[in-house]
């Protein structure tokens, strides 16, 4: 039985990437000005960011329902596949919970993985799962490998305006106050599915430098580590971040990918946000 890979739209895979990888993406809902739109289906990234910079009312997100997840799983299982489904952290959204509930209907043929990350981190889980599936690795072993690599993953990010993340309730109010009232530029990290403060400075430029320092600090087995660099409608800044990271690494890594965050992630980070994710895979 072949293995199919399913994920959610916070993986930030562009449509052409998902097609090339043959990955099924279940979209997060974007709620904005009374409209419910599926990320990547009813709203494109360019339209989203143009509106995000000008609209007074800010969007929110809503997870796909168990029924929406089950519809995708059913189509794949009925066509003869076993499914491995890496999803964003259960601490950040009910998406994982809804997908796991849907998976129970398929008698062990659908394996939902809590990656404890999102965006570029989730993207790396997905691409690794695809590689292993194409090599013929069984579904349960793919899950085991993802869970083993999960312990090595790291995520640090910066944003010009922390209020986007603050209003979602995913960021401590004290950190929001630090960034708004105290005019401090925080460097945040995602650790075990929880977002907290990693460092801080008085300027966004300096925070980006600290972002690089934190990404390479205590890094082991660089040659086996993959990186993902994300930007929210800030391609020049993302390119500069990639250059700085490459110059800082002591040896070439296993890979570096750069991508643009989609609406599901951009809602909470806001325009101009930058992130570096890393994960080390066993040889």
Tell me the CATH architecture of domain 154-280: 2-Layer Sandwich (3.30)
Question: What's residue 249's pLDDT?
Answer: 95
Full-model pTM: 0.93
Give the burial class of 176: count Cβ atoms within 10 A of its Cβ; 0-12 exposed, 13-18 middle, 19 or more buried: middle
Q: What is the pLDDT of residue 126?
A: 98
- The token pair at 40 is 């990547």
- β-pair type (154-158, 185-191): antiparallel
Q: Are strands 3-8 and 185-191 parallel, antiparallel or unpaired?
A: unpaired
pLDDT tens digits for range 142-190: 999 999 999 999 999 998 887 777 666 565 565 655 555 556 788 999 9
CA 24 and chain centroid, separation: 16
| Residue-range domain boundaries for the chain | 3-28+63-150, 154-280
Q: Domain 3-28+63-150 adopts which CATH fold? A: Rossmann fold (3.40.50)
Q: Given this model, what pLDDT does residue 220 score? A: 83
Whole-number average pLDDT of the chain: 91
* Bridge partners, 82 (sequence order): 3
85, 120, 237 from 125: Cα distances, Å: 10, 9, 25
How high is the pLDDT of residue 210? 95
Q: What is the pLDDT at residue 178? A: 55
User: What's the pLDDT at 180?
Assistant: 57
Task: State residue 175's pLDDT score.
Answer: 60
Query: How far is 115 from 134, CA to CA, in rounded Å?
Result: 20
Contact between residue 266 and residue 233 where contact means Cβ atoms under 8 Å apart: yes
Pairing of strands 35-38, 110-114: unpaired
Per-residue pLDDT of the chain (283 residues; tens, 9 = 90+): 699 999 999 999 999 999 999 999 999 999 999 999 999 999 989 899 999 988 888 899 999 999 999 999 999 999 999 999 999 999 999 999 999 999 999 989 999 999 999 999 999 999 999 999 999 999 999 999 999 999 999 999 998 887 777 666 565 565 655 555 556 788 999 988 888 888 888 899 999 999 999 999 988 899 999 999 999 999 999 999 999 999 999 999 999 999 999 999 999 888 999 999 999 987 6
């Amino acid at each position: 039985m072949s293995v199919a890979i399913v994920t959610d739209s916070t993986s930030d895979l562009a449509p052409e990437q998902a097609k090339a990888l043959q990955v099924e993406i279940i979209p997060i809902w974007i709620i904005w000005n009374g409209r419910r739109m599926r990320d990547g289906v009813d709203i494109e990234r360019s339209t989203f960011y143009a509106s995000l910079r000008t609209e007074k009312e800010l969007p929110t997100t809503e997870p796909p329902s168990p029924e929406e997840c089950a519809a995708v799983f059913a189509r794949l299982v009925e066509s003869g596949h076993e499914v491995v489904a890496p999803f964003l952290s259960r601490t950040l959204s009910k998406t994982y919970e809804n997908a796991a509930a849907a998976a129970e209907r398929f008698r062990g043929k659908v394996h939902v993985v809590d990656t404890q990350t999102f965006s570029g981190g989730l993207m790396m889980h997905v691409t690794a799962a695809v590689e292993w599936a194409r090599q013929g690795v069984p579904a349960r072993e793919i899950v085991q490998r993802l869970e083993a690599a999960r312990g090595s993953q790291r995520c640090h990010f910066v944003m010009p305006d922390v209020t986007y993340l603050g209003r979602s309730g995913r960021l401590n109010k004290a950190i929001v106050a630090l960034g708004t009232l105290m005019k401090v530029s925080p460097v945040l990290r995602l650790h075990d599915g929880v977002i907290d403060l990693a460092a801080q400075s008085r300027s966004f430029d300096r925070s980006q430098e600290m972002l690089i320092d934190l990404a390479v600090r205590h890094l082991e087995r660089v040659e086996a580590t993959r990186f993902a660099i994300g930007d929210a409608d800030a391609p020049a800044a993302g390119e500069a971040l990639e250059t700085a990271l490459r110059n800082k690494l002591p040896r070439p890594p296993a890979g570096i990918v750069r991508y643009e965050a989609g609406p599901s992630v951009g809602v909470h980070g806001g325009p101009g946000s930058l992130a570096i994710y890393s994960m080390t895979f066993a040889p």
